[in-house]
Amino acid sequence: MTTATARDRRGWDALMRAAAMVGPRRGRLALSILLGAGAIIAACALLAVAGVLISKAALKPGILTLTVFTVAVRGLAIARALLRYTERLASHDLAFRVLAELRVKFFARLVPLVPEGIRRMRSGDVLDRFTGEVDTLQDLYLRALGPPLVAIVVILAVGMAMAFVLPAGAVILVVALVVAGTAIPALALVLTRRSGRRQGPARAALSAELVDVIQGAPELAVYGRQADWAARVRRADALLMESQRRDALAAAVSAVLSVLVAGAALVGVAAAGVSAVSAGQMDGILLAAAVFLTMGAFEAVSGLPDAAQRIVACATAAERLEEVTDEPVPVVDPGAPRRLAGGPLVARDVGFRYPGTDEVALDGVGLTLEPGSRVALVGPSGAGKTTLARLLVRFADPEAGVIRLGDVDLPEAAQDDVRHRIRLVGQEAYLFTATIAANVRMGRPDCGDADIVEALARAGLGPWVAGLPDGIETQVGEDGAAVSGGQRGRIALARGLVSDSDHLILDEPTAQLDPVGARELLAELGADRSDRRGVLVITHTVEGLEEFDEILVMDDGRVVERGRWPELVAAGGPFATIAAAG
Ligand code: ADP
């Protein structure tokens, strides 16, 4: 119970913060509320005047007596349409402005979190928060906070109008409107309390399952596990359907109760009107007006049960967005960043543990990458090679020790500057659904076609690209689906080569290559000194490292051996063992 209350509180607090975004747009909110209330008041007035017109017409007066009422009816009909139209414009304008701001805010917070992963959230879940939850919050003004404010204005206006012609009717009408506007939404809230909170997570779980199934479809087909995963998707879907069904039930119950309350109010006002007319306290002509006004007034409260449900959905959505935006950002830019000016990349005594783990991923690691030098990092899986590469581009900061480029510690510089100067070609570098040229050009947006062709040739793709009918304009498919694994890795390598960084870090560039290709690529990287950058190559295959200036052997988070190829082979230590294993 306490956890549910605490969760409610967190949701409401998050909702208040989301609602505060309208602060600078108070004027627009007031305008849309006034226009919305105006539209309903015009509709009520239209019905009331129509009632008077019909009653008067029944008494067959001169046609001129009726003209003023027919003109009023026409005028009010036009006014109602215009007010409704402009209200829609104003309220949607407000909602979309807030929506755009929310999306940008969420995206801007997401970017720095992505390299280290967001609390290991599934990608479908993050996607759903970015789309579904933000869309849900779009309703915050339009359908959750706006309608109650409009209802208050309308209840005051029609209550006063009714009090003018039939005071007893005014009491009945206002009481009925307040009941329909508070008790029925409260009941809807009780009915959907749990389901409203569950809907966002249920939708996100379904998205996460779907994204998994789509991404893993080939594996599921190969292992014949489609039926199991289809069942998982169905289960996630059933949970979502269940909460949506409860919503529909609450909507139906609210609709029935609203009609009953409105009907009772109508009977009450009619009875009060009849007795007032027979007591001579009200002109009989106005009786129909009072009854019609009552009918019209309920439009103001008809959307409130839905608004109550949406407020709960919005609170959950705001809370789920904050779960992402409140994540501590792994690295932050300094207030006054120092500019990097090249020089050697040096890591000294670096220690690191992944957040939330006790296991030491790096322990006292040192490395120097001089401009123009070729350094290799070898060692078994789990040795800490990728972790070190990620620290070198400041995806995270070391727990101990320092990493500097030239005379600047990386945390003193802006992250963009660091990643521009030190390029990482990751193990799973992503290829975008575009041409080979566009994917390579990401490394340096202003590079020309000739640079791209040269970089592809250096990455070992020259003859292949030359033989393609569309050459560098060939589409690679989603994440390189239309090219082989080896070609995919080499296109990513070309992206790194074309960049104008000071240093290049290549994480397992030979992962998808055959032994001959791997050897050739490493030998080429070691021998080609035309590139004045420092190149750090992480590799599990060691054939081809003969020309490298230094080879660091890592194991269990430490550098256990370092030197050039001949020395290491002669030493007969860990490197010699790896080299002998081939
Ligand atoms: P290598 O690149 O040499 O194969 P890694 O640097 O990937 O090794 O991993 C070093 C250690 O850090 C391993 O013990 C691994 O389990 C751990 N590790 C890697 N990534 C994470 C992560 N995101 N969260 C927690 N631990 C991790």
Q: CA-to-CA distance for 369 and 404, rounded, in angstroms?
A: 11
Q: CA-to-CA distance for 488 and 461, rounded, in angstroms?
A: 10
With a cut of 70, say whether residue 552 has pLDDT above it: yes
Cβ contact 306:139 at 8 Å: no
- Please give the C-alpha separations between residue 532 and each of 389, 444, 501, 539, in angstroms, as whole numbers: 20, 17, 10, 21
Residue 354 CA: which ligand 1 atom is closest? 25
pLDDT band at 117 (very low <50, low <70, confident <90, very high): low
Residue 390 CA: which ligand 1 atom is closest? 6
Of all protein residues, the one whose alpha carbon is nearest to atom 17 of ligand 1 is 361
pLDDT reported for residue 457:
93
- Please give the C-alpha separations between residue 212 and each of 121, 219, 229, 232, 235, in angstroms, as whole numbers: 12, 11, 9, 11, 14
User: What is the b/e burial string over 460-485, where b = at least 16 CB atoms within 10 angstroms of the residue's CB?
Assistant: bbeebbeeeeebbebebeeebeebee
- Residue 154 buriedness (CB in 10 A; 0-12 / 13-18 / 19+): buried
* Ligand 1 center–CA 199 separation, angstroms: 35
Mean pLDDT of the chain: 90
Residue 207: partners with Cβ closer than 8 Å, 6 or more residues away: 124, 125, 127, 128, 132
Of all protein residues, the one whose alpha carbon is nearest to atom 12 of ligand 1 is 361
Mean pLDDT of 275-299: 92
SS3 of residue 538 by DSSP: strand
pLDDT reported for residue 479:
83
Q: CA-to-CA distance for 116 and 489, rounded, in angstroms?
A: 22
Q: What is the per-residue pLDDT across 29-88, written as a single tens digit (0 to 9) for each?
A: 899 999 999 999 999 999 999 999 999 888 888 777 788 889 999 999 999 999 999 999
pLDDT band at 7 (very low <50, low <70, confident <90, very high): low
Q: CA-to-CA distance for 573 and 504, rounded, in angstroms?
A: 28
Q: What percent of the chain has pLDDT over 90?
A: 58
Residue 357 CA: which ligand 1 atom is closest? 25
Mean pLDDT of 375-393: 94
Residue 427 CA: which ligand 1 atom is closest? 2
Structure tokens at 309: 């449900």
Of all protein residues, the one whose alpha carbon is nearest to atom 5 of ligand 1 is 384
Of all protein residues, the one whose alpha carbon is nearest to atom 13 of ligand 1 is 382
SS3 of residue 398 by DSSP: coil
Mean pLDDT of 547-551: 94
Q: CA-to-CA distance for 289 and 48, rounded, in angstroms?
A: 4
Most informative mutation of 358, 359, 387, 388 for ligand 1 (most atoms within 8 A of CB): 387
pLDDT reported for residue 568:
92
Residues with CB under 6 A from ligand 1: 354, 357, 359, 361, 379, 381-387
Of all protein residues, the one whose alpha carbon is nearest to atom 1 of ligand 1 is 382
* Ligand 1 center–CA 538 separation, angstroms: 14
* Ligand 1 center–CA 431 separation, angstroms: 23
Most informative mutation of 113, 121, 353, 386 for ligand 1 (most atoms within 8 A of CB): 386
With a cut of 70, say whether residue 118 has pLDDT above it: no
Residue 381 CA: which ligand 1 atom is closest? 4
pLDDT reported for residue 454:
93
pLDDT band at 4 (very low <50, low <70, confident <90, very high): low
Of all protein residues, the one whose alpha carbon is nearest to atom 25 of ligand 1 is 354
Largest CA distance in the chain: 121
Domains and CATH numbers, the chain: 8-325 (1.20.1560.10), 345-581 (3.40.50.300)
Of all protein residues, the one whose alpha carbon is nearest to atom 22 of ligand 1 is 354
* Ligand 1 center–CA 522 separation, angstroms: 24
* Ligand 1 center–CA 366 separation, angstroms: 18
* Ligand 1 center–CA 540 separation, angstroms: 15
Residue 384 CA: which ligand 1 atom is closest? 6
- Which residue's structure tokens are 């008790």? 183
With a cut of 80, say whether residue 3 has pLDDT above it: no
Q: What is the per-residue pLDDT across 203-229, written as a single tens digit (0 to 9) for each?
A: 888 998 998 899 899 999 999 999 999
With a cut of 90, say whether residue 344 has pLDDT above it: yes
* Ligand 1 center–CA 361 separation, angstroms: 6
pLDDT reported for residue 60:
80
With a cut of 50, say whether residue 123 has pLDDT above it: yes
- Which residue's structure tokens are 């779980």? 205
pLDDT reported for residue 1:
44
* Ligand 1 center–CA 359 separation, angstroms: 10
With a cut of 90, say whether residue 473 has pLDDT above it: yes
